[in-house]
Amino acid sequence: MKLVNTLSVTFILTILTTSYSYSQEEKEEEQKRRPFQVTFVTPLGTNGASSPGILNEFSFNVLVGVNGGVEGFELGGLINIDNGPVEGAQISGFGNIVTGPFEGFQMGGFANINSGYTDGFQAAGFINIIDDDADAFQIAGFGNITGNFEGMQLSGFGNFSEKAEGFQGAGFMNITGKAEGAQIAGFMNVADEFEGFQGAGFMNIADRVEGVQLAGFINICDSIDGIPIAPISIVKKNGYRRFEFWSNETFYLNTSFRIGVPEFYTIFTVGYKPGYSEFNWGLGVGAGTSFAIAENHSVDIEGHTYHINSRFWRKWEYNQLNQVKINFNYQIAEHFSLFAGPTFNILISESDGYAQQIAPVWSFRIAERRNSVRGWFGFNLGFRF
């Protein structure tokens, strides 16, 4: 991961003002293990210049300490840096840097950066970076960056991984290659292959999806084995997109566009009623599901809501039409079908005078308090391509 490497190197070079070197012979002679060490700034400590090659059971760094590893507990006032494995707990006021594998609990006021396999818990005020695989729970104020990840990631801004299995939750976005589990983001989720649940405040993007996509505005994927739920769901290969023209007792001319998958699609409609009526056009949105009952025969169950307008917004009146439809569809050709079916309608208007101009003569009054509520059974007939 070039991004991880760059961030790691930059971070280390910015922090460190002095480099340390020692020969392999010195490392073998001095090291292996010490019960404890205390350092102000390496090499000003109990392990002196040999500190980068020594593994400690307890390590305390007043400001910046460079050690060969920890098996136990390490506490740093500013930065802990370990050239080898760390097992246990590591806490610092600013950051932790581990070049070997890590297992245990890691907490940094600003950042945790590990270049080896990580197993455990990471918490950072700003960012966690693992330039390897991880089986962990990560929480960061800004972001988490990993290679292949298994576990849970929580961040204020974003989570980024090559492969993820588990849960990703971010205030803004999650980006991963192949993911299995759940992704929740305030704005957007992005994945190559995804299996599970994607939920975003605005958008989900994936190549292949197996599961459910839920977005506040739009889902985009190449193909899906599951259900995308959003005002707009674009499925390139096995999606459902249809135009239709139809008529009913409220609007004589209607055109709609359906988009999604047959199991769940959204509908955008414009209706027009020419003639004497002052209330003569409406805009509607809805959702529905379609399922086959026989060869070339299917049933659509849909819910719609419309705002009915007077002329061209000459003045504002509140007229909301809610409709449930059951359509029986017959497929004549690959891209052409006829449909018809009953509807049940509930109209909520500012006054019963408005309602009677919109509703058919056989409508019945349901209530009349602040608004007039009328209902009726209707019928629609049309074709789709």
Structure confidence at residue 26 (pLDDT) = 41
43 upstream amide cis, omega within 30 of 0? yes
Q: Return the closest-CA partner of residue 67 out of 92, 94, 39.
A: 39
Residue 9 sits at φ, ψ, to 5 deg, of -60, -45
Tell me the one-letter amino acid at 69.
G
Structure confidence at residue 334 (pLDDT) = 86
Structure confidence at residue 274 (pLDDT) = 80
CB 152 within 8 A of CB 170: no
Query: CA 284 to CA 262: how far, in whole Å?
Result: 20
Query: CA 263 to CA 158: how far, in whole Å?
Result: 31
Q: Tokens 């000459």 correspond to what residue?
A: 314
Residue 16, token pair as written in the block: 């460190």
Query: CA 254 to CA 320: how far, in whole Å?
Result: 17
Structure confidence at residue 42 (pLDDT) = 95
Residue 74 sits at φ, ψ, to 5 deg, of -130, 130
The CA-to-CA distance between both ends of the chain, in Å, stands at 47
- What are the residue ranges in the chain where pLDDT is below 50? 1-30
pTM for this structure? Answer: 0.82
CB 139 within 8 A of CB 127: no
Query: CA 287 to CA 260: how far, in whole Å?
Result: 10
For the chain, percent helix, then strand, then coil, each to nearest 5? 10, 70, 25
Residue 328, token pair as written in the block: 């029986």
CB 287 within 8 A of CB 302: yes
Phi-psi region of 26 (alpha: psi -120 to 50; beta: other; left: phi over 0): alpha
Burial of 265 (C-beta count, 10 Å sphere; 0-12/13-18/19+) = buried
Query: CA 199 to CA 214: how far, in whole Å?
Result: 5
* Residues across the chain: 385
Tell me the one-letter amino acid at 71.
E
Query: All domains of the chain, ordered by start, with CATH?
Result: 2-156 (no CATH), 240-384 (2.40.160)
Q: Sign of torsion, CA 183 188 193 198?
A: positive
Dump pLDDT digits (tens) for 266-310.
999 999 988 666 667 899 999 999 999 999 999 999 999 999 887
Find residue 295's DSSP bridge partners: none
CB 164 within 8 A of CB 149: yes
Query: CA 109 to CA 72: how far, in whole Å?
Result: 20
Q: Please, what is the Cα angle at 237 between 236 and 240, to 5 degrees? A: 75
CB 53 within 8 A of CB 68: yes
Burial of 355 (C-beta count, 10 Å sphere; 0-12/13-18/19+) = buried
Residue 91, token pair as written in the block: 């806490």
CA 253 vs. chain centroid, Å, equals: 39
